[in-house]
Amino acid sequence: LDNFKDLNDTLGHEIGDDLLRQVGERLEQCARRSDTVARLGGDEFVLLLDGLNSDSAQAADEAQRVARTVLRMLGQAFTLGERTHHTSCSIGI
């Protein structure tokens, strides 16, 4: 998550923890039953996509499609206490 430390430092760890929980929930909505969603630590998550196409070009297209969905889901506003918060994320495939 981009700039997560700033949110944690200014609004507190309870708000930061709430954001992390909501991000995890949204990532689970992007995943299929066979996929794995995990928090690596801090503000880093991994979405392990299982069963992608054996053709590397098609697998890359599938992964990009999921990444676009993740960006769209995480780009929607989060409700943190009485505040609305927008965040962005960086994705590597």
Query: What amino acid positions are annotated as catalytic residues?
Result: 43
Whether 26 contacts 43, CB under 8 Å = no
d(CA 29, CA 15): 21
76-92 CB burial, b ≥16 within 10 A, e <16: eebebeeeeeebebeee
